[in-house]
Amino acid sequence: MIRKFIFVTGGVVSSLGKGITTASIGMLLKSRGLKVNVMKIDPYLNIDPGTMSPYQHGEVYVTEDGAETDLDLGYYERFLDINMSKMNNFTAGQIYESVLRKERNGEYLGKTIQVIPHVTNEIKSRIKKVGETAEITIVELGGTVGDIEGLPFLEAIRQMKIDIGRENVLYVHLTLIPYIRAAEELKTKPTQQSVGKLREIGIEPDIIIARSEKPLNDDLKGKISLFCNVTKDAVMEEVDVGAGNIYAIPLILKNQGLDEIILKYLHVTSRKHELKKWEDMVESKKKYKTTVEIAITGKYTGLKDAYKSICAALIHSEYPNKTNVKIKYVDVESKSLNDDLKTADGIILPGGFGDRGIEGKIKVSQYAREKKVPFLGICLGMQCVVMDFARNACGLKNANSSEFDKNTPYPVIDYLPGQCDDTQKGGTMRLGGYPCILSKKSIAYTEYKKEKISERHRHRYEFNNKYKEILTSKGLVIAGQNGDLVEIVEVKNHPWFVATQFHPEFKSRPLNAHPLFAGLVREALIFSKKKGKK
C-alpha cells in the first residue's frame, strides 16, 4: 500500500492555529475509517523543549513513552484520541545532532556534508518512518514560510513530491487574512505574498485555509484562488471561534468539504463520517445554563499556553457536568493572593520548575485546605501541598523541598535515588507513563472507579517517606502509590482535595474527560451552589 502525506505550513504570522488545524484534518480523516498519524517538525535548534521556559515555548507536552514535546502533540492526541510518541516530534537540533554524529562515525564515507542532501535526507527519513505506521500521515511544520531556519525543512517536504509521486503528497497552507478596521476590509495581499514565498521554494499549495476575524465572501475567495493558483473550492476559511470552542473547528472545515477535497486530491476512498458523538458534544455547549469559576494558580499566568492541557481538560469537563467553566488565572506572586481566590469555586495548583513563587503556591494549598474549596494539585502542586501540610498542620517549621532549600530541617520532598528509578525514560527525571495503585478509601478511587491506573510524569523530586508517619497521623492521606513512591495525597475532613505527583491533564479527551478534572468541576458546581445559598 502506498502511503499518503499531507504537509501543513503557515504563513504571515505565527500562532494562527496550525496545531488545531492539523489535528482537525486528522480527526476528520480518522472519522472516515482511515488510519492516520500526525507529526510536528520544529525548526529550532534545541534538542527538545524540555529545558525551555514556558514564556519561550508554552507548555511542554509529555507522551506516554516519556518524550518532552511541542504542545501541538496535545492537540493531536485530544482530537484524534490516539497516543503520540517520541517519533511524532523532532527538531532541527535533533536533525543536526544526528547528521554530525554520523559524520564523526564515518558513516558518510568521507563526503562533504551539506544541507542538501544530508540534512534534507535525514528529515525525509524521519517523516517516512512515521509514514510507515499509517495510511495518511499529516506533518505540521512549525514557524512561518520565510523563516531562515525553516528552509531545509521546506526543501525536504518539496522533495517528498518527487520521491513518492505527486498523487501521494498534498500541501495545505494556513495563512492570515487581516481585517483593517479603519477601512473595514479584509486584505488578501499577505496571503498572496506568503504563497509566493512558497512557490519560490518550489511548493504549490493545493489547499489554502484562511484565518480571519470575519467570514470571507465569494469575491475574496475568488481573488485568493486566482492569485494563489488554487481551485476556488480549495479555499477554506477559519473564522475565530474563541478558545472554548476549538472543538467546533473540525465540523466547520467538514461543512466546507475539506476532507472530500483531500481525499479527491490523494485518490483515496473511504466510508462516511462517524461524528455523531462529537457533534453532540459541540452542540451541547450552547445549552449550558450554569458557570463555575476555576482558578489556575501559577507563575506563568502571563502566557496562557503554559497551561494549555489543563485548560483543555477543564473544557472537556464541561460536557459530563453540563456546565460552563470560566478559567481565572491567579498569579501566585500577587500581593492580594487570598483576595484573588475568593471568587473561585475550585482551585488548580499546577506544576512548574524553580523556586520562584513557591511560597505563594504553599499559601494557595493552605487557603484551599482551610476554606474547604475543591482543589486539585498537580506535580509541583502536590509537593507544595505536602510542604503546606507539614508546616501548617504538623508544626514542622520551615519544612521544604531539598530542591529549594538544601538546608531545610524537614526535607519532606527530596531527591531520593533509591526511590526514583534513574534508569527509566528520563535519567534523573521520571518522564512518561507509570502505574499507580489507589487506596480504595480515597477520593481518587471514587473518581477513577478502579484500583490500578497509569499516568504521565515529568518531575525529579519525590515525597520523602521518612515523614509519612507524622504527616498521615495529622490527617494527610496517601491515596495512591507506585511501590514506595507516593503518587497521590488527599486531606481528611475536606469535601474534595486531591493532589497528584503526575500530570492527569495529558490524558484527558474531549469525549472522555479525565476523572479528576471532571470530579473537580462537579464539586466546584456543588460549592458554587452552596455559596449562592449563603
Give me 90's grid cell: 523532532
pLDDT at position 275: 93
Given a cut of 50, whether residue 421 has pLDDT beyond it is no
Catalytic residue among 457, 459, 503, 514: 503
Of 281, 359, 355, 272, nearest in space to 316 by CA: 281
pLDDT at position 303: 79
Domain 288-533 has CATH 3.40.50.880: yes
Given a cut of 60, whether residue 20 has pLDDT beyond it is yes
Q: What is the pLDDT of residues 164-217, one digit of tens each?
A: 999 999 999 999 999 999 988 999 999 999 999 999 999 999 999 999 999 999
Answer yes or no: are the C-beta atoms of 523 and 346 closer than 8 Å: yes
Given a cut of 60, whether residue 531 has pLDDT beyond it is yes
Given a cut of 50, whether residue 532 has pLDDT beyond it is yes
User: What is the helix (H) or strand (E) element at residue 294, kind and residue range?
Assistant: strand 291-298
pLDDT at position 353: 84
Fold of 4-282: Rossmann fold (3.40.50)
Q: What is the pLDDT of residues 36-54, one digit of tens each?
A: 999 999 999 998 888 887 7
Given a cut of 50, whether residue 32 has pLDDT beyond it is yes
| Average pLDDT of the segment spanning 264-280 | 91
Q: Give me the residue spans of the domains in the chain.
A: 4-282, 288-533
Q: What is the pLDDT of residues 353-381, one digit of tens each?
A: 888 889 999 999 999 999 999 999 999 99
pLDDT, mean over the chain = 93
In percent, the amount of the chain with pLDDT more than 70 equals 96
Of 131, 133, 17, 26, nearest in space to 80 by CA: 26
Please list, residue by residue across 117-130, b when 16 or more beta carbons sit within 10 angstroms of its beta carbon and e when fewer do. Answer: ebbbebbbebbeeb
pLDDT at position 483: 94
Least confident window among 52-56, 294-298, 481-485, 510-514: 52-56
Q: What is the pLDDT of residues 241-268, one digit of tens each?
A: 876 789 999 999 999 999 999 999 999 9
pLDDT at position 243: 67
pLDDT at position 533: 52
In percent, the amount of the chain with pLDDT more than 90 equals 84
Has 503 been annotated as catalytic?
yes
Catalytic residue among 155, 237, 316, 379: 379
- Please give the model's pTM, rounded to 2 decimal places: 0.93
Catalytic residue among 403, 505, 514, 523: 505
pLDDT at position 424: 42
pLDDT at position 1: 62
| Average pLDDT of the segment spanning 305-317 | 94
**Cα distance between residue 405 and residue 312, in whole Å:** 34
Answer yes or no: are the C-beta atoms of 21 and 120 closer than 8 Å: no
Interhelix angle 72-80/308-321, rounded to 10 degrees, is 20
Given a cut of 70, whether residue 534 has pLDDT beyond it is no
**Distances, alpha carbon 383 to alpha carbons 120, 270, 349, 412, in Å:** 44, 49, 10, 9
pLDDT at position 282: 94
Has 505 been annotated as catalytic?
yes
Has 273 been annotated as catalytic?
no
Q: What is the pLDDT of residues 427-484, one digit of tens each?
A: 478 999 999 999 999 999 999 999 999 999 999 999 999 999 999 999 999 999 999 9
**Cα distance between residue 60 and residue 57, in whole Å:** 8
